Amino acid sequence: MPVGTQAAVKGVLPRDLMNDLDAKIILGNTYHLFLRPGHETVRQLGGLHGFMAWPRAILTDSGGFQVFSLNSLRKITEEGVLFHSHLNGDPHMFTPESTIDVQLALGSDIMMVLDECIEHPATYDAARHSTQRTVRWAKKGLEHFKRHDDGNRAVFPIVQGSMYGDLRRECAEQLVELDARGYAIGGLSVGEPRPLSLEMTEITTPLLPADRPRYVMGVGMPEELPEYVARGADMMDCVLPSRNARNGCLFTRNGRVLIKQTQYKDDARPVDEGCGCYTCRNFSRAYLRHLFQAKEMTFSTLATLHNLQRYLDIMREIRQAILIGKYPEYLRACR
C-alpha cells in the first residue's frame, strides 16, 4: 500500500495512482489527519475518499504509532493515551473507542485498533504488560465498532509482543478470539535486526486465520516483500518507495540507482529498462539526474511514480507466481 500520510501520497496525484499505477488501496494517517485538518472537517467534505478524490480503498492506522514516536510527553493509562500535538502543543487523548470514531469520520475502509507501541529493545516484563493492554484495547475498540458496523468496513486488531515469540503467540491467540475481519502484525521495523522482524512474522502468521487478510505494518525493502509473503503476509505498507524516491534512490530490477551519481550524467537509458511506468517510458536517467540536481519538483513526482510502480510490480509478480503454483521457484529466483 502506498502511504498517503496527510491525505496525499507525496508528489503523486490520485489520478496517476489510480490510472497509471493501478494502486488498489492506500494508507492514511489518523494522528496527522486528526490534528490537521481535523476528522470532522474531513467528514463534512465527504470523508477521505471525497476530500482527496480517491474512490478506491483506504486504510487508516489508529494513530498509536505516531503518538508513541512523535510525542515525548505522552502518558499512557488504562483508558487510553494522553499526548500533546506536535503542531501546537495542545493536549489530546486517544482511547480505543475514540480512535475508531475518528476513523469512522475519516470514512476509512480498513481501520486499526489503538495499540501500545513498545520501544525496542523492551524488557520482557514491560513488553508483556504492554501487550496485554493492547489486547484489552483491541476488545474495547472492536466492541465499539460493532455498534457502528454497516458491514462495509473492517477493523483489524494488531498483534504486538515486541521481539518475544511467546508474547506474540499469546497476543495472536487472544486477538483471534475477537473474530475480526483481518489482522495486523505491528511493532516491527522499530530498529530491530531485519532477520528478527521476519522471525516474529513467521511465528505470528500461522496463528492468524488464513482466510482473512494478514497485514504486516511498516515493512519493507523491495527484496523483503517476497520473504514476508512467504511467511503469510497479504498486505504491507512502507514509506520507503516514496521517501527514497524523493531522496534520489530508485529501485530497479538490478538493484538501486542513486541518481545523483556522475555516471548517470549522459545516460540515455531509462531508470529500469524492464519497467513500464510513465517515468521509464519517457525519460532518461540523465534527465532525472538533471531534475534532481536542479531541485525541480518534477523529480519527486517522476521518481515516486517509478518506485511505487516497482513495489506494485513486485506484488503483481508475487500474485502471478502464486496463481500458477510457482511461488517456491519465484522465491528462489528472488533470493
What residue has cell string 494488531?
A: 158
| Residue (70 or 286) nearer to Zn ion, CB | 286
CB of 237 to Zn ion, least distance (A): 20
Q: Which of 58, 138, 188, 280 binds Zn ion (CB under 5 A)?
A: 280
DSSP 117: P
277 binds Zn ion (CB under 5 A): yes
DSSP 329: H
Q: Does the annotation mark 109 as catalytic?
A: no
CB of 251 to Zn ion, least distance (A): 9
Amino acid identity, position 9: V
Q: Which of 230, 235, 306, 308 binds Zn ion (CB under 5 A)?
A: 306
Q: How many CA atoms lie within 13 A of 107 on its CB side?
A: 19
| Residue (228 or 311) nearer to Zn ion, CB | 311
Stretch that binds Zn ion, among 131-139, 140-148, 211-219, 268-276 (CB under 5 A): 268-276
Report residue 39 as a C-alpha cell: 476528522
Q: How distant is the alpha carbon of residue 306 from its chain centre?
A: 18
Stretch that binds Zn ion, among 7-15, 38-46, 73-81, 299-307 (CB under 5 A): 299-307
Please report the sign of the dihedral spanned by the C-alpha atoms of residue 201, residue 207, residue 213, residue 217. Answer: negative
Stretch that binds Zn ion, among 32-40, 196-204, 211-219, 298-306 (CB under 5 A): 298-306
Q: Does the annotation mark 237 as catalytic?
A: yes
In the set 61, 115, 272, 313, the catalytic residue is 61
Please count the residues of this chain forming the interface with Zn ion, following the rule CB under 5 A: 5
DSSP E strand boundaries for the chain: 25-28, 57-60, 75-76, 81-84, 91-94, 110-112, 154-156, 158-159, 183-185, 214-216, 235-236, 249-252, 255-258
Q: Is the peptide bond before 220 cis (omega within 30 degrees of 0)?
A: yes
Q: Which of 275, 291, 312, 318 binds Zn ion (CB under 5 A)?
A: 275
Stretch that binds Zn ion, among 49-57, 65-73, 269-277, 325-333 (CB under 5 A): 269-277
Catalytic residues: 61, 237
| Interacting residue ranges for Zn ion, rule: CB under 5 A | 275, 277, 279-280, 306
